[in-house]
Structure 1
């Protein structure tokens, strides 16, 4: 029984009194915090499953769903470690007395460092895509992950090789985990080096031209994570016995996971909500925004497949008929062919790139206007991305 355990709490209180230490017993406040944050993470889990199920939905895909899933997983592992290290539950006679396993490997390496690593990779990806104009794939993705993983692995193995009193160890009398000061300093140095890399990358992307405020998202995330880690650093070194104080341990746990959840939902709430309730309308607005900003390539708007339900058999048949006749009004190069036909009083535009056919729809506009819009769009984007205005498009 990890909470509450009256026998253990009485023993802790007696030991603290003998040592001249103030101790706040574990109470219903601890239980309430653990239960509430656990419920929040259960809701987060449902949101992550929905996000991964709809990961091909372009507004979600643009947020790097795999990275966002890793962010929440690392945050949840951080919480598991906080439950142990911050002293919210009874540790005696449970697996929670393994301070190095849960307190260091789970909480620090996979949790805190995992969260920081996701921010670092996200900022690094934004720098490659928006500043260097390079696709973020191949060795650009894998090399930083491999290097950081190797560093974490080496650090973790060294911590296991050292004796427990030099790293993290269980204090039976007080039923809590304690950390040797030099080791604690090395842990925070490792975390702050990672955060320094995040800050450096954010500085490099501060002026990027993006359609959906990625630089602002990163600014908010950096501000929150830096404030949280600054608070944790001061608490750990100025009040090393903070798990014995109800106010300090609750504040520490709540602040940490309020930070990570605010960052996650601040990034994913809008695309998830609209994917669920306004899927088609939001997608149209999302793509129109990309067209106006000219950032289709940066957001990986792909022209290789149809959006399900976007095209009717009549659309395809009409396109095939027009292409077969090879009767086009304008051809700008060997790569593009523009075809027009009337259907129900509306002028429909067909763009043939040689590989794909894109179908646009005008609202009863005359052929000259449709032609002008098409040429204007083509000149504004030196690529094969499809669509213009409110026309239907391929993604």
Structure 2
């Protein structure tokens, strides 16, 4: 969530930079600093927006594809490289002469950038989004509980549409900064793009948590069980649970007396899957004779997670992959990696 929060902040500041850069306010006083508003607010946070998505997808790739933790020198170096490249690009623009980068048009009380500088910014944005595309491609086959390929692909499509519009605008209308309709269009497209990409990540989880919290929680636990991630939620009969950054447990006494409120048959869906469908979306085997076997209830490893003895099923607190410490151990069973 920290990366998504940073993404939201970058989107807001990108919009703030668009206001004076596109001439929506009179550039007098503090607003007359064209290089500051265009380079260090609009351009920089536009780059930061793409860079945060790169870091987010890189974190998922590192944890689920490379089986490594998203911390340490390797991760810090990756973050540092992205930051340094963005800062250096903007710093070069700041140090170059105004006639080569950004200039103030006092007679219009507006700012304008040279075509060469605008093209350089656009090319750099394309490079960043090519990096995003490579990481999205690498995320296509991660385990289903954490697979965000469709959302990531939708984000990439929105970004490419916006970047194509920016490219065409600067080539077809070289003097668009002095054309009010085109300036308004550019601000609206950038703002819409930034918000759509954020809510492609947050929209479904936020809606489900607000209006279908119990159903969403049950579906999530069933997916974790089906994918072999039960241990991530402290469902070990020996009481030695393990946690990941996606399933960090709150070890507070308030949860010692709580249990998840599953229906009897829906609980069975956590461990047994068949042709019938439960209310929560899991598949049920109502007539399976193993469900009536006394031996099944004597072996805690075969029981559904909510029926095991001496267990406290804690409410999960979902986090980003940046806190994941130990990666995944060896392949288990059908080739899945078990936490």
Do they fold alike, i.e. is TM over 0.5?
yes
CA contact (8 A) 1:288 1:390 kept: no
1:86 Cα deviation after fit: 1.7
Partners in 1 of 2:248 and 2:5 — Cα distance?
A: 26
Q: Which moved more, 1:149-158 or 1:304-313?
A: 304-313
Q: 1:251 aligns with which of 174, 179, 185?
A: 185
**Quick one: structure 1 residues 302 and 202, their matched pair in 2 at CA, closer, same or farther if it must change by over 3 Å?**
closer
Residue in 2 that maps onto 1:393? 313
* Pair 1:144-2:78 in alignment: yes
SS of 2:145 mapped into structure 1: coil
Q: Is the 2:209–2:216 contact (alpha carbons within 8 Å) kept by the matching residues of 1?
A: yes
Q: Does 1:76 align with 2:21?
A: no
**Residues 260 and 294 from structure 1, CA distance in 2 versus in 1: closer, same or farther, beyond 3 angstroms?**
farther
| Mapped contact 2:50–2:128 kept (Cα < 8 A) | yes
Task: Provide closer, same or farther for how the CA distance between residues 227 and 289 of structure 1 changes in structure 2, counting only shifts above 3 A.
Answer: same
Cross-structure match for 2:283: none
Return closer, same or farther for 1:375/1:295 CA change in 2, 3 Å cut-off: closer
Aligned to 2:279: none
Q: Is the 8 A contact 1:284 1:390 kept in 2?
A: no
**2:18–2:42 contact (8 Å) kept in structure 1:** yes
Tell me the CA shift for residue 249 of structure 1.
2.1
State the distance in 2 between where 1:148 and 1:301 align. 25
**1:258 CA displacement:** 1.3
Deviation at 1:294, TM superposition (A): 2.2
Instruction: Give the corresponding residue for 1:312.
Output: 257
The normalised TM-score by structure 1 is 0.62
1:277-292 to 2 correspondences below 5 Å: 277-292=211-226
Do the aligned partners of residues 295 and 220 (structure 1) sit closer, same or farther apart at CA in structure 2, a change above 3 Å counting? farther
CA gap of 1:303–1:233, structure 2 versus 1, over 3 A, is closer
CA distance in 1, matches of 2:84, 2:248: 38
TM-score by length of 2: 0.71
Please say if residues 210 and 295 of structure 1, whose CA atoms lie closer than 8 Å, have aligned partners that are also in contact.
no
The structure number with the bigger radius of gyration is 1
Aligned residue-pair number? 270
Whether 1:98 and 2:29 are equivalent positions in the alignment is no
1:368 and 2:292 equivalent? no
User: What do the CA deviations read for 1:85-130 (whole angstroms, capped 9, x no partner)?
Assistant: 2222222x23222111111111111x11011001111111121122
SS across alignment from 1:76:
helix
1:197 alignment partner in structure 2:
131
Contact 2:7–2:49 under 8 Å retained in 1: yes
Q: Give the match for residue 346 of structure 1.
A: none
- Are positions 1:300 and 2:242 aligned together? no
Distance in structure 2 (CA, Å) of the matches to 1:241 and 1:308: 64
